[in-house]
Amino acid sequence: MYQTTIKKTVSLVGIGLHRGNPVNLTLEPLEANSGIVFVRKDVGVSIPLLPQNVVDTKMATVIGKDGYSISTIEHLLSAIYAYGIDNIRIIVDADEVPVMDGSSASFCMLLDEAGIVEQDVAKRIMLIKKDVEIRDGDKYVKLSPSKDLRYDFTIKFSHPVIENQTYVLEFTKENYKKEVARARTFGFLHEAQYLRSKGLALGGSLENAIVLDEKKVLNPEGLRFSDEFVRHKILDAIGDMSLIGMNFIGNYEALAGSHHLNHMLTVELLKDPANYEIVDIVGAKEKEYVKAYA
């Protein structure tokens, strides 16, 4: 297996979730060993996707540099990760990635339009070698060694539509597109009203999020999956874990995980080289991992 980038530059325009303004997004190919690099075109700042560049995780994963930031990056990163793309430049002209319909489906379509091309450098993958766990009371996120990649997520909400949900994704690109990519972000009406009073979530609507009142889903079309809520949490987790800097092989498990806990998990993982092994996927090893990252 070789590192990949996109075949051609592609663009789209969408609304930013928090500012409510149009955002132009462009994806460009990058040479091998470049990784994922964000660019704020409006201020001329490049921000490599690295754990140390994470500046906020309260409501979304936010990266920043030199006083400038880009928020709500996790849905786009989730799609990029699922497509196994190693090197790509992401250009926006605002401080957030457009929310689109609240899932990663639009970004998958954009990547399908761009196409994927192999580069002349072997692909690197991180193998999880030891259990790494972050806990916050009953909440936790965990990575453990495995020969494949699985996301196992449980959520608990005291809401009649959500309650307790668990979903396990046996990760492949096709499983991701079929089972997770269309799952939308969600929130509660009282939270949206509070955020708007603070000048946030100005672009949020029933077009780009599942909104719930105290008893029901307010979106007239209903849910895309009966357990869409936990599926979206997996979508988020995949995007957050891309901060590791490469695809990995191991099991991810979470109970009430969050952007913040996911960030702490990536930091804890990378803190000790004994937690992982980085391998070039060539020769015999290629057959072991091609299913997930073909």
Closest CA to 99 of 232, 218, 209, 262: 209
Residues 200 and 222 in one domain: yes
SS3 category, 95: coil
Task: Please write the tens of the pLDDT for every residue from 8-29.
Answer: 999 999 999 888 899 999 999 9
User: Would you state the pLDDT for residue 283?
Assistant: 61
Q: Which two tokens stand for residue 220?
A: 């007239």
Residues 51 and 66 in one domain: yes
Residues 218 and 118 in one domain: no
Q: Once rounded to an integer, what is the mean pLDDT over residues 89-98? A: 97
Residue found by looking up tokens 């997770």 in the block:
180
Distance from CA of residue 67 to its chain's centroid?
A: 23
Question: What are the CA-CA distances from residue 184 to residues 72, 79, 94, 96, 262 (Å)?
Answer: 13, 13, 22, 17, 19
User: Would you state the pLDDT for residue 196?
Assistant: 75
Residues marked active site are found at 259
Task: Please write the tens of the pLDDT for every residue from 196-206.
Answer: 777 767 788 89
Q: Which domain holds residue 36?
A: 2-122
Query: Of the residues 122, 144, 169, which one is the last residue of a structural domain?
Result: 122
The CATH number assigned to the domain holding 39 equals 3.30.230.20
Residues 158 and 250 in one domain: yes
Residues 194 and 48 in one domain: no
pLDDT range class, residue 193, cuts 50, 70, 90: confident
Contact 69, 55 (CB under 8 A): yes
Residues 144 and 89 in one domain: no
* Distance from C-alpha of 155 to C-alpha of 233, rounded to nearest angstrom: 8
Closest CA to 13 of 128, 130, 129, 98: 98
Residues 116 and 240 in one domain: no
Please compute, for residue 236, the number of CA atoms within 13 A of its CA located in the half-sphere on the CB side.
Answer: 28
Residues 65 and 151 in one domain: no
pLDDT range class, residue 288, cuts 50, 70, 90: low
Structural domains of the chain, count? 2
This prediction has a pTM of 0.94
Residues 69 and 146 in one domain: no
